[in-house]
Structure 1
Amino acid sequence: MSFIFRTAQLAECADADRVLRAAFAPYLAKLGRKISADYYKWLPASIERGDVFVAEQGGQIVGVAATERREAELFLDRLAVDPSKQGTGLGRWVLQRLDEVARSRGDRTVSLVTAEMMDHLIRLYGSHGFAVVHRGLPDHGKDTHMRVHMAKAL
């Protein structure tokens, strides 16, 4: 695996959007939702803040991690792997790089939320050291599928 992990650049917003859409369309479909045209309208501002990271291979963006800095915590808002790279270990590799980012910033935990029905994601995060903190309905109210809140101490 020859990937490069780095902070996204604003000029790569369209590529990051493409990977996010390709990876999340099936996820949202299972939740009974679709990705609207403006679904990732927050992406440019997040990139400018330095909260979006990319995995690059051969000059192409193949993974995206959108994060949010919280007090002593890195919140993983989105982890997207291009469908052509899913199952290759890229997601695990990006999670390892995010741990390094969080540690270098002095964060004590990494946290995330995923849909309860996505048991393969819960297993993936669990195998990376995340534990279930609690379960509950989403705050956004766009669907009624239970969410699993997970965290990992660094």
Structure 2
Amino acid sequence: MSAEATLALAVAVPAQLAQVDALMRSAFTPYVRRLGREITADAYDWFGQAIAQGDIYIALDGGEIVGAIATRPRGADMELALISVSPMRQKSGIASFMIGRVAEIARSRGLQTLSLTTAEMMEDRIRLYRRHGFEIVRRGLPEHGKDAHMRVHMERVLAADA
């Protein structure tokens, strides 16, 4: 039985904020450290509002939150701002499951693209996103200026998926 067979995607609710925050921190700490930084205490202060707006999706395996995607709607695009999987469950198909389901949601809303940004040095992530139809549309330094690692901005056109 595949990991996908036991997973469900749901919209996060306010009562799950602490769990989503903890999951994101545990998943992103190694990534951010590779960039030479640490996650600040206030880095995810925007999650409460995002959950209230229905913009954070969680992957559930039974009652356990094993993944989360924080999105930012922008016109005809849905940005996948953060994609995280529980460190103990990484490389088991959860990220692929979530990306696929969120793409279905975006398409059902009539959105035209999904977009995301990742560090250019994170080649495994770039390969994952390419497997899901994302292409690099530009490269550049991060707007936040907290590190000097190049980022790749990727996009997936949903209209061609139908």
Question: TM class, shorter-chain normalised?
Answer: over 0.9
The answer to whether 1:18 aligns with 2:5 is: no
CA displacement, residues 86-134 of structure 1 (integer Å, 9 cap, x when unaligned) = 0101110101001111001110000000000000000000011000001
Determine the structure 2 residue equivalent to 1:133: 137
Matching residue's letter, 1:38? D
Q: How does 1:3-152 map to 2 (within 5 A)?
A: 3-152=7-156
TM-score (norm 2): 0.93
Matching residue's letter, 2:132? H
TM-score (norm 1): 0.98
In structure 2, runs of 5+ residues without a counterpart are none
C-alpha separation between the residues in 1 aligned to 2:72 and 2:108? 15
C-alpha separation between the residues in 2 aligned to 1:3 and 1:127? 20
Q: Is the partner of 1:95 in helix, strand or coil? A: helix
RMSD over aligned Cα, in angstroms? 0.6
C-alpha separation between the residues in 2 aligned to 1:102 and 1:20? 22
C-alpha separation between the residues in 2 aligned to 1:93 and 1:49? 22
C-alpha separation between the residues in 1 aligned to 2:155 and 2:33? 25
In structure 1, runs of 5+ residues without a counterpart are none
Identical aligned pairs, as a percentage? 47
Q: Is the partner of 1:103 in helix, strand or coil? A: helix
Matching residue's letter, 1:87? K
Q: Is the partner of 2:83 in helix, strand or coil? A: strand
Runs of 4+ with >4 A deviation: none
